[in-house]
Structure 1
C-alpha cells in the first residue's frame, strides 16, 4: 500500500470556487498545474514559470486560463518545488492575485509532482482532472474544454498536433523516414477520469513515463483531441519571444 500523504501547503491556501451549476455540477472538474522548472535552459536568473511575460509571471497567465468562469474548474492545484513557495507567494501579493488555488510541494520528478498534486485531491471522490504544464501560458479555453469533454466520454484525452516537419528515426546505421501523418506532437492539458489517474499513479514509476498519458496508457486507450500550435511550452529564450508576440496579437483581437 502507498503510505499516507500529507501535502505541504505553506503557500496560498485553497479557496473553494463558487458552484455555478452546469456541467461541473454533475462532473466536477479539477486541474493540476505542474511548474517545477529551474530555468537552466533559459539561461535566466529565475525559474521559467516566474519569468515576466508582458508584465506578469508566466505561471499567472497559465493559472488564469484554467480559472476562466466558463470552464467551471472547481479546484486548481499548483505544484511547485518547496523552495519556490515564498517567491510565488510574493508574486501573488505583488500582482494582487485573487484566483483561488492551492500550492503543493513537488517531487524529484514530474511523475512525483503529479502524484503529490493528486494526493491533495484525496477528498474528491470522483471527477475529471486536467494535468497541464505551468509554462504553457497560451493554452486556449477551447482546447481545455475539448480535452475535458473528450475525457468525460473516453476516460483519457490528450491535446496533440501534427508535426509540421519531416521526421526521421535514428538507427545504428544512419536514419530512416517516418510517416508523419501517423505521428502527433503531444501537448497538455492531458485530462483523465480522476480515479483512473489515481490507479495509474499507484504503480511504480518507470523511465518510460514522460507524461501522464504514458502513465495511463496500460490501463486505458488515450484519445487525442486537436491541440494548438500556439500552445507552446516555454523552455528556451526563443519561446518567450514567440509567446510575447502571440499574446500581444491575442490581446489586440480580444
Structure 2
C-alpha cells in the first residue's frame, strides 16, 4: 500500500504583501512549494505527490516542482478551489487505488522536516486514523466575547474594540496544530464528503476538523519549530533560519 501527499499551494500572498501566490514566494532562492515538496520526497515514506495550484497557474506550479531533481516522487498538479477544503478535495480525487494513507500539507510550512513527515505516517500506519503534529502553547490564552464595547470609538486609541474575557483555558492541554496531517484514506474521504454537504460558511480550517465533526478520534504527535506557518513578513524572516536544512535532521 502507498502514501499520497497533497500539498496545498493555492493560497494568495496578500498578507505577505506580494502580487504572486504565497507558495511561489522565494525563501533562500527557492519557492516555498519547492522547499516543501523536497522535504516530503526526502522523507522516504511518500510515494506520490499532488500539488493544488491557484486556478490558471497549474503549468507554472508544475514547472517549479516536477523539474526539480530533488523531488524524486511522481507529481501531479491540479487546480485548487476557492477554499482550502475545496483544494484538498480536488487533490484527494486524484488518489490512486493503492493509496491507503493520505497526508495533507501546507506549502506555507515549507520547512517541516522529513523526520516529522515520517513520524506522522508511522502513527497512521500504527492504527490511528487521523494524526496531526502539534506543539505546546507557551502563551496564556484568553477566550473573549465578540461583543464590542459600547463606549465611543477612539477612547483607547486607534479605534480599538474592547473584548471582555470569558475564560482562561489551561494551556497545558492546548496544542498549536501544524501540518503535515495524516489520515487513513477512507476516513478522510468520508470526512470530506460530510463536510461538503454542510453550509458554505462552515468550511473547516484543517482536515482534522472535518474528522472531528464525524465524532472520530484525532491524535497529536510532537511537532517542531521548523514547521512554522509563513503568513506575514515576520514569519518569512523567521523561516530563513530553517532554510539551510538544519530542521531536516532526525
**RMSD of aligned Cα (Å):** 2.4
Q: State the TM-score, normalized to the length of structure 1.
A: 0.81
Please say if 1:242 is aligned against 2:238.
yes
SS across alignment from 1:78: strand
2:58 maps to what in 1?
A: 85
In structure 2, runs of 5+ residues without a counterpart are 148-162
Deviation at 1:89, TM superposition (A): 3.8
1:144 maps to what in 2?
A: 117
Q: State the TM-score, normalized to the length of structure 2.
A: 0.82
Quick one: distance in 1 between partners of 2:220 and 2:211? 14
Please say if 1:40 is aligned against 2:30.
no
After TM superposition, the structure 1 = structure 2 runs for residues 1-254 of structure 1, keeping only pairs within 5 Å, are 27-68=1-42, 70-92=43-65, 99=72, 100-121=74-95, 123-152=96-125, 153-171=127-145, 174-175=164-165, 176-203=167-194, 204-206=197-199, 207=202, 209-217=204-212, 218-248=214-244, 250=246
SS across alignment from 1:30: strand
In structure 1, runs of 5+ residues without a counterpart are 1-26
Measured against aligned partners, the alpha-carbon deviations of 1:180-206 in whole angstroms (never above 9, x if no partner) come to: 111111111110001111111111245
Deviation at 1:76, TM superposition (A): 0.7
1:20 maps to what in 2?
A: none
Could you list the structure 1 runs, at least 4 aligned residues long, displaced by more than 6 angstroms after superposition. 251-254
- When residues 193 and 251 of structure 1 are mapped into structure 2, their CA distance, relative to the original with a 3 A threshold, is closer
- Bigger-Rg structure (1/2): 2
Aligned residues: 226
SS across alignment from 1:215: helix
Deviation at 1:126, TM superposition (A): 4.6
